[in-house]
Chains A and B, each alone.
Chain A
Amino acid sequence: GQQVMQIPQYQHVQEGEDFTTYCNSSTTLSNIQWYKQRPGGHPVFLIQLVKSGEVKKQKRLTFQFGEAKKNSSLHITATQTTDVGTYFCAANAGNNRKLIWGLGTSLAVNP
């Protein structure tokens, strides 16, 4: 079936370093959504990208949707301990209204 591959699976950084997680698909995506799940918590919606080449920023977070709408990235500048958690991408592809979820990238930040 359709899949969304998310890399890396884990990332360990020192506080202040940058972090990037990538979401890749072999098929064209209709949109991409990003969620954050804190340890012990539930996924919380961060943003949705729909347009080819779209870039959106939320403070230190930058989200990009590729020109071909087959990949996306989430970049965090100067990580803080509050960024700890698992970041998931989710997308629709074709006429499938069910979201396809990536397996997530777990971010650990050393203070």
Chain B
Amino acid sequence: NAGVTQTPKFQVLKTGQSMTLQCAQDMNHNSMYWYRQDPGMGLRLIYYSASEGTTDKGEVPNGYNVSRLNKREFSLRLESAAPSQTSVYFCASSRTSGQATSYEQYFGPGTRLTVT
């Protein structure tokens, strides 16, 4: 099992360019997440998907769009990149809990994005 995979590992964009970050998991998880991590800011949720066909905004969704292509894949798109989107992006997945407590999340290796 590869777990959660992300591509690319590194990316440099110019302001205004667009790109899609890819994420896939092979653990048959229903829930998938996109986070960004900035120094001193911890992990901030951008979007999540509780199941195939559904997506919801997280804490910092502005400037991003997502697609839950199928159960395995969850992509994050930056339509017009800005320097403020320079960050490390992590995709994660988990089983979906029917109760108030979440299952543990499994993270991908991350994409280090620089926008100049």
B-binding residues in A (CB < 8 A): 9, 30-31, 33, 41-45, 48, 50, 88, 92, 94-99, 101-104
A-B contact count (CB 8 A): 53
A25 and B77 alpha carbons, distance in the complex (Å) = 33
A-binding residues in B (CB < 8 A): 40-45, 48, 50, 58, 90, 92, 97, 100-102, 104-110
A21 and B45 alpha carbons, distance in the complex (Å) = 23
A95 and B47 alpha carbons, distance in the complex (Å) = 19
B101 touches A50 (CB 8 A): yes
6 new A-B contacts at CB < 8 Å, known A31-B102, A50-B101? A30-B101, A33-B102, A43-B43, A43-B107, A88-B43, A95-B100
Nearest A-chain residue to B108, judged by Cβ: A42
Q: B29 → chain A, closest Cβ, in Å? A: 13
A104 touches B102 (CB 8 A): no
Nearest A-chain residue to B110, judged by Cβ: A42
A43 and B108 alpha carbons, distance in the complex (Å) = 9
A92 and B97 alpha carbons, distance in the complex (Å) = 12
B42 touches A88 (CB 8 A): yes
A-B contact pairs, 24 of them (CB 8 A): A9-B40, A30-B100, A41-B109, A42-B107, A43-B90, A43-B105, A43-B107, A45-B105, A45-B106, A48-B101, A50-B101, A92-B100, A92-B101, A92-B102, A94-B100, A96-B100, A97-B100, A97-B102, A98-B48, A99-B105, A101-B45, A103-B40, A103-B41, A104-B42
A-B residue pairs, 10 tightest by C-beta: A103-B42, A45-B104, A31-B101, A42-B107, A30-B100, A30-B101, A101-B43, A43-B107, A92-B101, A101-B42
Chain A residues lying within 8 Å of B110, measured Cβ to Cβ, are 42
Chain B residues lying within 8 Å of A95, measured Cβ to Cβ, are 100
A41 and B90 alpha carbons, distance in the complex (Å) = 10
Q: A7 → chain B, closest Cβ, in Å? A: 13
A96 and B45 alpha carbons, distance in the complex (Å) = 14
A95 and B109 alpha carbons, distance in the complex (Å) = 30
Chain B residues lying within 8 Å of A43, measured Cβ to Cβ, are 43, 90, 92, 105, 107
